[in-house]
Structure formats: C-alpha cells, structure tokens
C-alpha cells in the first residue's frame, strides 16, 4: 500500500473548533500508530462551515445538521482532502453519493454532563431557573422533568458556553461528557448524568471518519483503526434515527449498549415542550443492529398519540 509521507501527506478535513481539532488529532494519531508513521505524514485541513459561522440562531432555523458537514463533504468529493473527521451526533443519516462513513473510533463517554456553580443536579435547580442549551432534545427532556424551567439559547464551542455560564447567562447548562474529556477540561463544575436519567443524543461521544467510496488506500488505512463495538452500536442508533426521519429539529434520544453478543438499544421521542415522552428498549444480536434500530423506531411510532408529530410541519 502506498502510505502517506511528509512530502505527500494524508489530508484530514475538519471543522476548526477546539473539539473538532482534538478529534482530528486523535484520528491522525491512531492512524500514525497503526502504520508506524510520523505525525508529519498527515495534514489537518481546517474547513469553515455555516454551522460554525452562524451562532445567533438555532440550527433548526438555518438548515439543520448538514450545516456542520456540507462544506467539508464538498471538499472531500473534490479531492481537496482525503478523509474527513466528524462528531457522529452531527451527521445526517443520509450520505452524499460517492462518500462512505463506515469507520468509527472507540467511543468516549456518551453521557451528558450537568454544569452549574450552585446546583449538583437537575432536581436541585431552583423554581423557574434558567438553563442554557441549543439542543432541542435536552430542552424537551428537561421540560418533561421540570415544567418550571426556562431556557435560553447557548451556541458556540465548549469554552464559549462555559464562559456564558460563568457570566450568569444561565444557572446551568448541559454538555457532552465526551467533549469535556477530549478537551481535557478539568475546571468546569461538571457532573455526569446517568443515561437512565437523561438519555443522550444518537451517536453522542462517537467520532466518524468519512472517505470517498473509490479511495482504496483510505479504505485500507481506516480499516486498521475502525472500532467494531462502536460500529455495532451506531448501526443500531443511526438506523433508529433514520426510521424516525430524525434531524436537529426532532427531540430524539437513543443509546445502544453492547454486552457480550447482545446489543440493547434504548430510545426516546418527545414533544418539544416535554408534554409527551415515549421510551422503549429492544435487545438483539450485535450483528443485527440495523434491524434492532428499525424495530425500536416502529415501536415508538406505534405508541405516539395522534398528532404527535404535527409540530414538525409548522
């Protein structure tokens, strides 16, 4: 195989946030270790996306999840980069023609973290407390548990959100444990929230690596760093999301756990105001992840009340 060199590096496309750069560096380091290559055999290429540039409006108002990937995928298709590194929870379930997203690094902690200087958890928040979050899923889940809470928009990178919290823009916020861990954030007042209290976003904590379908060198290299357990979990979670026609406009949570040869997928769908929550789990063989995901989606859809999804057409 024709491996990259410092003179002809493998170009890794990524967003420019500190977390995105940390994830790209992890992908680079794993590939370098797998093939005994120097770090200089790889080039991290920062690509600005609309989702990074427009921070004053909710994602659902400006185009959805694809805003974090469109420009990167265009560069991948054009050959300007060789592979692209993504946070899997940001990825639409449908791939552009000519691209494959079939490599996942070992998953980090998938839980949400509760952050507050004054309170230890959701139930400790005072009556009418303000929570900062741009996540429709988190807001719906919190509203279902605490009808009195108020919400303000929190977008930007991890450090920006922490600064907003410190400045008093909200009494609490929620971030992914994975992002805090990958950035080495030690000074934040963060406490993990167990998945049975707050089910995370589909694919939270997972890094995916995208490639051109006809790039055999990239395919062979990525095979060496692909994590089978994460692959199995995400096959179930993303099939579930696809069957629900999920996007950033949809309050959907889902998390798969592998125990030996058994994979159990738990999912939750909500009305945006938290007034209705439907949750269920489906176990099955690890190799049947996609079928498990579809079955869970059908179960939840079958239990939804009449008009449950009418708000999506407003």
Q: Where on the phi/psi map is residue 160: left (φ > 0), alpha (ψ -120 to 50), or beta?
A: alpha
- Three-state DSSP class for 173? strand
Identify each DSSP E strand in 30-186 by its residue range.
42-46, 83-87, 99-104, 112-115, 130-132, 150-152, 172-176
- Rounded-to-integer distance, Cα 91 and Cα 299, Å: 24
H or E segment to which residue 232 belongs = helix 228-243
- Out of 52, 82, 90, 112, the active site residue is 90
Helices marked H in 79-157 — which ranges? 136-145
* CA–CA dist 281, 244 (Å, integer): 15
Which positions ≥6 away from 251 have C-beta within 8 Å? 136, 137, 139, 140, 141, 269, 270, 271, 272
For residue 38, which phi and psi values (nearest 5 degrees)?
-75, 155
Active site residue 90: yes
> What residues are annotated to the active site?
90
């Amino acid at each position: 195989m024709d491996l990259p060199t410092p003179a002809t590096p493998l170009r890794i496309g990524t967003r420019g946030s500190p977390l995105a750069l940390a994830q790209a560096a992890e992908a680079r380091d794993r590939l370098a270790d797998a093939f005994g290559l120097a770090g200089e055999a790889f080039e991290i290429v920062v690509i600005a996306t609309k989702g990074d540039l427009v921070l004053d409006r909710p994602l659902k108002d400006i185009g959805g999840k694809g805003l974090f990937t469109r420009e990167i995928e265009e560069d991948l298709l054009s050959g300007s980069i060789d592979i692209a590194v993504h946070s899997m929870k940001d990825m639409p379930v449908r791939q552009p023609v000519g691209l494959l997203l079939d490599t996942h690094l070992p998953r980090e902690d998938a839980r949400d973290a509760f952050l507050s200087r004054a309170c230890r958890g959701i139930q400790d928040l005072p009556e009418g407390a303000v929570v900062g979050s741009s996540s429709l899923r988190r807001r719906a889940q919190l509203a279902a548990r605490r009808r009195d809470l108020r919400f303000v928009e929190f977008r930007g990178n991890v450090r920006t959100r922490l600064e907003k919290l410190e400045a008093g823009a909200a009494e609490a916020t929620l971030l992914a444990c994975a992002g805090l861990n990958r950035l080495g954030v030690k000074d934040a007042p963060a406490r993990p929230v167990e998945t049975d209290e707050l089910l995370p976003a589909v694919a939270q904590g997972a890094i995916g690596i995208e490639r051109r379908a006809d790039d055999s060198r990239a395919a062979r290299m990525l095979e060496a760093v692909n994590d089978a357990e994460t692959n199995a979990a995400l096959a179930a979670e993303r099939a579930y999301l696809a069957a629900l026609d999920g996007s950033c406009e949809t309050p959907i949570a889902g998390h798969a756990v592998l125990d030996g040869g058994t994979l159990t997928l738990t999912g939750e769908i909500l009305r945006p105001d938290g007034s209705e929550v439907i949750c269920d789990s489906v176990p099955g063989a690890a190799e049947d992840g996609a079928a498990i995901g579809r079955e869970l989606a059908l179960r939840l859809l079958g239990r939804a009340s009449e008009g449950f999804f009418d708000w999506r057409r407003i």
